[in-house]
């Protein structure tokens, strides 16, 4: 007898702008992620946790001995501590978007469940990652949620959904042989359809320079409505990101639904290149996080460009406050706000 899939049971992958119960973070501990630059990172996580706590719950994975220090930093950041919850789930690293569960919702019953995919640290690039891979199971146990397991390697940052069955991803990441070498595009699409309700999948091409995830879509293109997507662009033809971002823009503009509907594509300029020790960092305004009533946007100490990005996102998300958070130190670890977080829908 074939086991019913989450989609077959009526579950879907909600859009990020739908009402949220909480946002999950994994407290930073791996100093090698920010080599010789780790000192300000816990304080930055505390600042982000405080911003979230003023609007909804923030739930934090961490080892038990770290709780008192994390609590003190978050309190100092003026958080609403009633909305801050700690879960003694040890992790190897801080990228909760990728090692955390991907939540799904059944609109008919109101049940929220989670999907638990295999996690291999972006193609076994960073060891160890065993504790990170256990996070979805620990989360399901802590929340008493139904858990749907899938052996396919999938990170949350590699997909973005509109809540209505359309999924964005990239060929550079999901078709990379360091993830699922025995699976082809058809098999990957089947898993996304069966577990996340992806009726259509829009495949983009390559990611941005400096991204060690092999092209996560959350640095490139993000839905802001069921038919609207904001996408990173680079106007400088001499910039290393120009060609790939133009190709992704072309694919978005060329997409049609089965009924012939187009996407409303909004261009989001890239920040000026950010470097550390001679290497380009994956700084992108597209790595924003949508929460209840607000959009947390990464800023890079570039006043004019930061302000322009905030203006565009404000137009995309009317009624939500756009909060710019300085992420220049955070991006030294090769990720920012969306990478460190995972939303849990109501």
Q: Which domain holds residue 280?
A: 11-345
Asked, for residue 2, whether it belongs to a domain, the answer is no
pLDDT at 1: 63
Assign residue 39 the CATH number of its domain.
Answer: 3.75.10.10
Q: Catalytic residues, which ones? A: 339
pTM, 2 dp: 0.97
H or E element that contains 258: none
pLDDT at 259: 86
Asked, for residue 273, whether it belongs to a domain, the answer is yes
Count the Cβ atoms, other than its own, within 10 Å of residue 334.
21
CA atoms of 340 and 334, how far apart (whole Å): 11
Longest dimension (CA), the chain: 60
DSSP label of 62:
E
Asked, for residue 6, whether it belongs to a domain, the answer is no
Average pLDDT, consecutive stretches of 10 residues, N- to C-terminus, the chain (346 residues)? 90 98 98 96 98 98 98 98 98 98 98 98 98 98 98 98 98 98 97 98 98 98 98 98 98 93 97 96 98 98 98 98 98 98 98
pLDDT at 258: 84
Asked, for residue 3, whether it belongs to a domain, the answer is no
Asked, for residue 1, whether it belongs to a domain, the answer is no
For residue 132, give the nearest of 96, 104, 78, 159 by alpha carbon.
96
* Domain count within the chain: 1
Asked, for residue 5, whether it belongs to a domain, the answer is no
Specify the residue for token string 């409505």.
225
Asked, for residue 160, whether it belongs to a domain, the answer is yes
Asked, for residue 85, whether it belongs to a domain, the answer is yes
**Cβ pair 250, 204 in contact under 8 A:** no
Distances (CA, A) of 59 to 137, 206, 278: 15, 32, 36
pLDDT at 157: 98
């Amino acid at each position: 007898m074939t086991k019913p899939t989450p989609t077959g049971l009526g579950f879907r992958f909600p859009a990020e702008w739908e009402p949220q119960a909480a946002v999950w973070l994994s407290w930073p501990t791996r100093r090698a992620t920010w080599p010789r630059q780790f000192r300000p990172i816990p304080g930055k996580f505390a600042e982000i946790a405080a911003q979230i706590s003023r609007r909804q719950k923030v739930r934090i994975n961490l080892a038990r001995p770290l709780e008192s220090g994390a609590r003190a930093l978050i309190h100092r950041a003026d958080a609403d501590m009633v909305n801050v919850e700690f879960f003694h789930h040890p992790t190897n690293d801080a990228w909760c978007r990728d090692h955390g569960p991907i939540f799904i919702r059944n609109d008919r019953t109101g049940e929220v469940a989670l999907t638990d995919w295999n996690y291999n640290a972006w193609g076994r690039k960073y060891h160890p990652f065993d504790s990170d891979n256990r996070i979805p199971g620990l989360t399901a146990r802590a929340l008493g949620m139904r858990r749907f397991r899938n052996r396919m390697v999938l990170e949350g940052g590699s997909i973005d959904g509109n809540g209505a069955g359309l999924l964005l991803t990239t060929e550079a990441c999901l078709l990379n042989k360091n993830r699922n070498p025995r699976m082809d595009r058809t098999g990957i699409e089947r898993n996304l359809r069966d577990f996340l309700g992806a009726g259509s999948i829009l495949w983009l091409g390559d990611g941005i320079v400096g991204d060690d995830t092999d092209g996560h879509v959350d640095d490139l293109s993000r839905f802001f409505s069921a038919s609207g997507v904001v996408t990173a662009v680079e106007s400088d033809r001499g910039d290393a990101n120009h060609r790939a971002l133009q190709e992704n823009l072309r694919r978005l503009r060329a997409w049609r639904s089965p009924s012939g509907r187009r996407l409303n594509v909004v261009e989001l300029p890239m920040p000026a290149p950010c470097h550390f020790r001679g290497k380009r960092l994956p700084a992108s305004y597209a790595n924003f996080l949508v929460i209840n009533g607000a959009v947390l946007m990464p800023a890079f100490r570039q006043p004019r460009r930061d302000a322009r990005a905030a203006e565009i996102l404000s137009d995309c998300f009317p009624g939500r406050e756009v909060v710019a958070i300085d992420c220049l130190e955070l991006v030294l670890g090769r990720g920012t706000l969306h990478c460190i977080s995972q939303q849990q829908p109501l």
